[in-house]
Structure 1
Amino acid sequence: MPKRIQPLTDMKIRAAKPKDKEFKLSDGLGLHLLVTPSGGKLWRLQYRFAGKQKLLSFGAYPTVSLTDARKRRDDAKELLEQGTDPGEVKKAKAAAVAAAASNTFKAIAEDWYAGLKEDWSESHAVHVRRWLDQRIYPVIGDRPISSLETVELVQILKAVASSSLETGHRIKTIFHQVFRHATFTGKLKHNPATDFKGAIKPKNPKGMAAPVEPKDVAPMLRAFEGFRGSYVVQCALKLAPLLFCRPGELRQMEWAEVDLDAAIWSIPGEKMKMGLPHLVPLSTQALSILKDIRVLTGHGQYVFPSARSFTRCMSENAVNAALRRMGFEKDEITGHGFRAMARTMIREQLHVEAEFIEIQLAHKTKAPNGTAYDRVAFLKERRQMMQNWSDYLDQLKAGAKIVRFEARATM
C-alpha cells in the first residue's frame, strides 16, 4: 500500500524552519511546500502530462494560503481530467496579462513618446511629459487602449479645455498621434481619435504667417536655394511651397508612397487630418527634387529622415528652425504657412477655381450629392494646377517679369 500522507496544517507550515538544503512538506495529491535555505515557503504541484513529469508553481506561503493552494491543486487536477495541461494554461494566462499590460494606453503612449522626444525641443518634451502624467494617465493610463471610446476621450478634452483651451487642443493632438501610433504598430484596429470636430471650442483664430505678394515670395525662394544647413532639410524647404501639404504630412513622406514614374504621391488616410487618403500630383520641379534626394535617402523608409536615425522621420521643428536660421521670423512664414500662401496666390495669380485648390489642400469639402470628395476628383485639373504653380514659382525665383496666368478652359 502507498504510504499515507498526513495533510499539512497552518501550524505545521509556520513551524517549519529552513535547513542547509531545501526540503518538501507534502500535502497529498502532488501538492507540496518547498522550504528553501533562505526561509522561503513555495507551493508546488507535481503532475504527469503526456507521459512527462511536470511541476507547477502556485506562489509563496502565506500570500497563497493552504486553502488557496489546495483549491489551485484541485483546479489543476480538473484540467488534467479534461486532457489539458494546467502548466500551459498558466503560461497562456501570463502571456495574456503581459500582452494586456503592453497594450495599455500608457504603455503605447510611452513607446510613442520615446520614439519622438529626441526630435523635439527640450521644452516641448517637458510639456508633453507633464500633460501625459498629470492630465491623461490618471484617467486612462492603465486602460487597454482597445477599450477606449471616443466619448471618453471627449470627456477628457472638455475637462481640460474648461480650464485651458490651449492645453485642451494640445492633448487633442496627443490623442491623435498616440492612437495613430497604436494603429501603425498593430496594437489597435479601430481608432477612436480620428474625429474630434466640435468636441471643444476652436482656438482663437490666428492666421498662419505667410507671404502672399510676389515681391515677398521671390527672395524667400532664392534663400531656400542658398540654404547651407542639412541637405535633407533644404529639400523639404524647396518642396514645401510646391506641394503645400501639411508639415506633418511632408516630414512623414515615405518612399513607398511616391510613384516617380506616375508623378504622384499617395498619402494613406491614417496620415491625413481628415482620415481620407489623398493624392498629390508632382510637378516636374517636385520630381527633380525627389530624384535628387533619393540618392541620399532612397534606401530607407522616409524621404526626409531624422538627422539622428534613418528609422525615424525628420523632426517636426526642422523646417521652422531652418526658416528662423535664415532670418525669417514667425510672423513672416511658418511651415504651415505655405498652405495659406498657395491658397491665396493660386487663386489670385493663376485664377484657378477655388474647388480645385480646396481639394488639393485636403480640406473636407462636400460634393453635390453630399459625400466627401473622392481622392481622384479633378485629378487632371489639379495636376495642371500644380505644374502651373511650380512654373510660376520658378519665374518668381528667377526674378523675371511676372505675367498673371489667364484662366484656362481645362481648369
Structure 2
Amino acid sequence: MPLTEPQVRTAKPDERAYKLYDSGGLFLLVTPSGGKIWRFRFKRDGKEKLLSLGTYPIVGLSAARKKRNAAIEKLQDGVDPAEERRQLKLARMQARKHTFKSVALEWHAMREDEWTPDYARQVLSRLEADVFPALGDKAVAEIKPAQMLEVLKAVEARGVLETNRRLKQYCSAIFRYGIASQYCEHDPAAPLKGALKSPGRPKHHSTIPRSEVGAFLLKLDAYDGDIETRIAINLALLMAPRTTELRAAQWTEFEQFHDAERALWRIPEARMKMGEQHLVPLSRQARTLLSVLRERTGRSKFLFPSGTREGVMSNNTMLFGLYRMGYHGRLTTHGFRRLFSTEANEQGWNEDWVERQLAHDERDRVRAAYNAAQYLPQRRELMQWWADRLDAWKAEEIAKRGLTSDGDDGSQRR
C-alpha cells in the first residue's frame, strides 16, 4: 500500500535502520540517527541497483515520486539513471580539477614557443595580476559571463582600456582552448562585446612630414649629446627597426659587414615581436655608421652598452635625444617606421617588400608562410633607395640654406 505524507512525517528512528515502501520501487530509509532518505530500487541487465533521490523533508513524498517516475522514463529509454549520475559526478570532479588557472597555464605553455620571451612573460603577468585572483581556482566549465565581466570591469576602472581589451582576448583564447580540450563548453568572454569601454582608435606614432626631414638630419648632425645616441637615432631612421630591436643589438648579429651585396643584420627570433628571425639588409650609409660605432663599442657584446640593469641603452635614450633636439611631442623613433612605410608605398614600392622589411605579422597565412629571407634582394634595393633618399633630402636642405655639405655657410672660406 502506498505511503502517505503523515506516515513519512511521523516515522521514528529505531535501533536499526528500516524501510517504508511506497510503490514502483520507491522506499524511504529511516536511519537510527533519524535521517530519512528516499531511494529507488530497480533492475538493470539482471542486476539490482539503488538510486538515491534525496532526503526528507527537503524532498517530500510527491517530489520523490516525480523523481522515481523520471528515473523509470530513463530506464524505458535505455538509460541507466545510476550510471548517468555517476558519470555526471565524475564530470563535475574533472571540471573542478580543470580550473581556469590550470587551463590558462596549459594554453600559455602551448603558445609560448610562438612568442618572444618578453611577450610570454607579459601575458602571464597580466593574467596573474588581474584574472587569477578572482577566477584562477574556479572550474573553467562553471565560469559565467557575469563573473568574467566583473573581472574586466575592475581593470576597466583603472583606465587601462587597451590592456583590458588584450586581457579579454587572452581569456577568450583560453576558453576556446578549453572547449577544444573538452574542459568546458562555452566561452563566457564572448558575449561581453559592447559591455566594456573601447580603447578607441589606435594613435599613430608621431613623425614629421617629408618637407622637414632634411632639417631634422642637419639637427642630428649637430646633436651635442652622446655620439652613441646620435648614431642610434640615425640607424633607427636608416634601417626602420623597432626601438627594442636596435638598442639590444649585438655585434655577432651582423654578417658580411664589408660586402655591399651581402651585408646583413640578422635579428634572432627571441628578440623579435612576432617571434620570427628577421633579416635587415644594410645600406652603404648604415654600414658607414656601424663602422664608426664599432670603433667605439666594438669590444662590447652590444652595439649600445650601458650600465642599466639590461646592460644596454635604455628604452627612452633615443626618445630623450629627440626631445633634446626640439622634437618633443612631434617625433618618436617608432615614427621613423611610419615615415619609411609612407614614403616607400607612395613611391610605388611593392607593399609586400615594405611589410616584410618592417617585420609586420603576415596575417594571410595561406598566402605566405613567414620566410626571413623572402624578398631579400628587392629589400636590399629598397633600403639603399631609402638611405639615398634621406641623403637627397639633406642635400636639398643644405642647398636651400646656402650651406656647404658640412653645415658651414662658406663665409669664412676663400
Q: Give the TM-score taking structure 1 as reference length.
A: 0.50
Structure number with greater Rg is 2
TM-score (norm 2): 0.50
